[in-house]
Amino acid sequence: PPPRCGSIMSAPEQQQAQPPPEAGEPDPAHGYEPVAPHWFYCKVTDGRERWVPFSAQDSERLEEAQGSGRDKEDLVVPTSGGRYDVHLKKRQRVAVYWEEEVSEVRRCTWFYKGDKDNKYIPYSETFSEELEEAYMIAVTLDEWKKKLESPSREIIILHNPKLMVHYHPVATSDDWGSTPTEQGRPRTVKRGVENIAAEIPNGEPLQIDHLVFVVHGIGPACDIRFRSIVQCVNDFRSVSLSMLQAHFKKAQEQQQIGRVEFLPVNWHSSLHSTGVDVDLERITLPSINRLRHFINDTILDVFFYNSSTYCQTIVDTVASEMNRLYQLFLQRNPLFKGGVSIAGHSLGSLILFDLLTNQKAAPEEDEHSEEGSRTTSSNRGIEEVKEILKKLQLSEYCDVFEKEKMDRQALFLCTEKNLKEMGIPLGPRMKILHYISSKTEMQVCLLHSLYSSRSHPVSANYPQLNYKPTIFFAFGSPIGMFLTVRGVKRINPNYSLPTCKGFFNIFHPFDPVAYRIEPMIVPDLEFEPMLLPHHKGRKRMHLELKEGLTRMSVDLKNNLLGSLRVAWQSFTRAPLPAVEGASTEAEGEAEAGAEKQPETKAEEPPPAVKEEAPLINVGRLNGGNRIDYVLQEKPIESFNEYLFALQGHLCYWESEDTVLLVLKEIYQTQGITLDQPLPGSQ
C-alpha cells in the first residue's frame, strides 16, 4: 500500500470514519450486508457530465422493475412525475412532453470522487459488481488491501472498509505501468449512496389536481442565465412544490390535494425552423456580429408576430402544441379530473390573449340558463338588428335577418361573403358593412371589435383549443401596450374572454416590458395595482421602512407648519398687554389645529389603501376581481431601478410570491384555501 494513505483523507471523510458503520459499510465483525443501490441519470450541461440521483420513490420503482425478472422486455418506467420515461433495458431516460437529449441511466452502488468539482461519479454497473464481489470476500474473510483494475486501466485498492482509493492510469507507453504510489494523488472511493452525501430529491405527489401550460416570450432563452423554457418551468414547478408544503400543509395532510403540473410550450424553434433564419443571415451586416445574431434570435420575434405570415405560424404552433400536450397528458393520466389553466411570459402572454379572445364559446354554455330567458335574450337581439336596419333605411330586409336568427353580435361578426349568401344586394351590403366598421371602436366588449381589421395589425385564423382554460396568468405582459397600439382605447367592463373566466396580470414594478390592464377598463379613476403579499406573510422590510419614513415626513411637515402658524399669530397680535392672554389662547387654538391637522393628513393614506381593495369595479375580465398584481421589489433592487430592469422582466420563474398567487387562485376554484390567509391578499 502507498505510504501516507491516511493523509489523503479530507476532514469530512475523517469525520465520516469516526461514527459506527452505516448499513452500506458494516463492521466486518457483523458480516457482509449487500449494498443498497440507487438509480442515477447523466445530465450533460455545456459539455460537462453530471450524475443526478432519482428521487427515492423513482429509484424504488426502477429497482422493483429491475427485480421483476422481465429482462427480455423493454420495460418503461415513468419517473419525475411522469415527465420522463426510463427504458430499463436500454438504460435511457427519455423526455415525454418535449424534445430533449436522451440521458444515460445507471443503477449505482460504487462511486469515486471526480477531479474537477469533487462530485462523486458512479462506476459502471459491471465494474461495480466486481467491486462489490471483492468487497464481500474482503469482509467475509477479513482480508483487505485488495487491488482491482478498472476497464480503463485504473487501479482501485480496498485498504479497509473506511479507506478505499482509486488511482489514475499512468501516462506512459509502458504497458506494465508503475506502482500506484507513483501515480499522483488518489481519489476517494465510496460504497453506497448514503456515504456520498448526495442530495436525493423529494418525490412529487402522484395525484395531479390541475394542469398549467406555460408559453415563453421572445427568443430561446427565458431568464438572465439564458436557460430554456423547460429549465425555467422546472424551477417554477420546484418552487410550487415547496410553496404547497409551506402554505397548504393542512390540505396535504388531509390528502385533499396533490400538486399542480406545469408543462412548457415551445414555439420559438418551430418559427425559426421555417428557413427564415437563412434568409435573415443573407441580409445581416457582418459588423457587431453577436449583437446582430442576438437581435435576429430574440427581438425580431415581436416583428414576426406582427407579420401575417409568421403570426399564423406562431398561433398555429402554440395552439396545436397545447392541444397535443393536453391529449398526451390525458392518455398518460386517464384518471385526471382537474382543470387546465394557461400562463404566458412576455410576448407569450400576448399570443395567448389573442388566442383566447378568438375562441368560440360552446353553445352548451347556455344550457344551464332558463329557456325563457334565453328566448327573451335572443328576441331582444333580433329586435336590435331590426332597429339598426330601420336606421339604415333597410327595413325591407328585416325578415331575411330574422329568418337567419341574426342578433346584434352575429351581425357584427358578418363579412361581405355572409351578407351575399343571405341574398342582400350590393348597395345595402355596403351600408351594413360601413355601419359595422364605424361602430367597431365603440363596441370593444365584443370579440369582433377587439380584433377587427381596423384594430388588429395582422389577420390570422385562430385555432380552437380542445379545452376551456380555468385561469389565464400573464407574467411581465405587454398586452395593454399592444391593445393601445392596435387602436383599442378602452375595454368595456362587460367584456370577458369567451372561454376563460379568470385573468391575472402579474408584473415586477421595474419590468420594462410590462403594462397594466385595469386603466383600460376604468380610465377615469386612478388607483394602484394590487400589491402581491410576500410569501412569508408580510411586506418586505424596506417597503415598510419606506412607508414609515413617508408617514414620518408627513407628520414632521404638519407639526412644523403648526409651529410656524403659532409663531406667526403671536407676532401679528396687536395690543401688547393682551399678548399673554391672547398668545395662550392662540397656542391652544394652534395646538388643537396642529393636533387635528396631522390626524386628518395621517388618515388620508388609508382611504387610498382601501380604494385598492375589491371596492373598485374592474369589470368582468377577471370575474369582477382585480386584474393587475405587482410584486414587491427586493431591497437591493430598490437602489437602482434601471440596473435591475432586465432582471425584473425575467424574475418570475423563481418568484415564490408569483407561484403562491398562481397556486392560491387555482386551488380557490376547488374550494381549498391557504393554511393562513396572507395579509393584504384579496
Do residues 423 and 380 touch, judged by C-beta distance below 8 A?
no
Q: Which of 402, 419, 445 is the last residue of a domain?
A: 445
Is the domain of 438 the same as that of 497? Answer: no
The answer to whether residue 364 is domain-embedded is no
Asked whether the beta carbons of 558 and 594 are under 8 A apart, the reply is yes
Radius of gyration of the chain (CA): 35
519 and 475 together in one domain: yes
307 domain-assigned: yes
Q: Do residues 433 and 505 both lie within one domain?
A: no
Q: What is the CATH number of the domain that holds 418?
A: 1.10.150.50
217 and 348 within one domain: yes
Higher pLDDT, 487 or 70: 487
Q: Does the pLDDT at position 361 exceed 60?
A: yes
Stronger pLDDT, 400 or 375, i.e. the higher one = 400
* Rounded CA separation 368/365 (Å): 7
State the residue range of the domain holding 631. 208-359+462-537+617-670
Regarding whether 224 and 189 lie in a shared domain, the answer is no
Q: Is residue 150 included in any domain, yes or no?
A: yes
pLDDT tens, position by position, 628-640: 999 987 665 455 5
Question: Is residue 159 domain-resident?
Answer: yes
Q: What is the C-alpha separation between 196 and 191, in angstroms, rounded?
A: 8
d(CA 479, CA 517): 8
Q: How far is CA 431 from CA 436, 437, 547, in A?
A: 9, 10, 59
91 assigned to some structural domain: yes
pLDDT at 321 over 80: yes
Q: Are residues 348 and 402 in the same domain?
A: no
What pLDDT score was predicted for residue 564?
Answer: 67
The answer to whether residue 178 sits within a structural domain is no
Residue 643 lies in a domain: yes
**Residue 230 is assigned to a structural domain of this protein:** yes
Report the amino acid identity of residue 26.
P
Q: Give the least confident one: 267-276, 352-361, 477-486.
A: 267-276
Helices (H), 79-208: 125-141
| Tens-digit pLDDT profile for residues 191-218 | 999 888 888 988 899 999 999 999 998 8
Displacement of CA 386 from its chain's centroid (Å):
49
Tell me the percentage of the chain whose pLDDT exceeds 90: 38
**Averaged pLDDT of the chain:** 78
482/424 same-domain check? no
Q: Do both 473 and 438 map to the same domain?
A: no
pLDDT in tens, 1-20: 333 333 333 333 433 434 44
What type of residue is 651?
C
* Residues 59, 162 within the same domain: yes
Q: Which amino acid is at 344?
A: G
Active-site residue flag, 242: no
Q: Give the predicted TM-score (pTM) of the model.
A: 0.71
Pick from 150-159, 440-449, 501-510: least confident: 440-449
Residue 272 and residue 154 share a domain: no
With beta carbons less than 8 A apart as the criterion, state whether 232 and 223 touch. yes
Same-domain status, 84 and 47: yes
Cβ-count burial of 167 within 10 angstroms (0-12 exposed, 13-18 middle, 19+ buried)?
A: buried
Query: Is there a single domain that holds both residue 187 and residue 253?
Result: no
Q: Which residue has the higher pLDDT, 313 or 221?
A: 313
Q: How confident is the model at residue 71 (pLDDT cuts 50, 70, 90)?
A: low
Q: What is the pLDDT of residues 92-112, one digit of tens each?
A: 999 999 999 999 999 999 998
Q: In this predicted structure, which of 187-201, 450-464, 612-626, 654-668 has the lowest mean pLDDT?
A: 450-464
- Which of these is catalytic: 59, 80, 103, 346? 346
Half-sphere exposure of 183 (CA within 13 A, CB side): 21
Domain count, the chain: 3
Q: To which H or E segment does residue 550 belong?
A: helix 541-572
Q: What is the pLDDT confidence band of residue 606, given thresholds at 50, 70 and 90?
A: very low
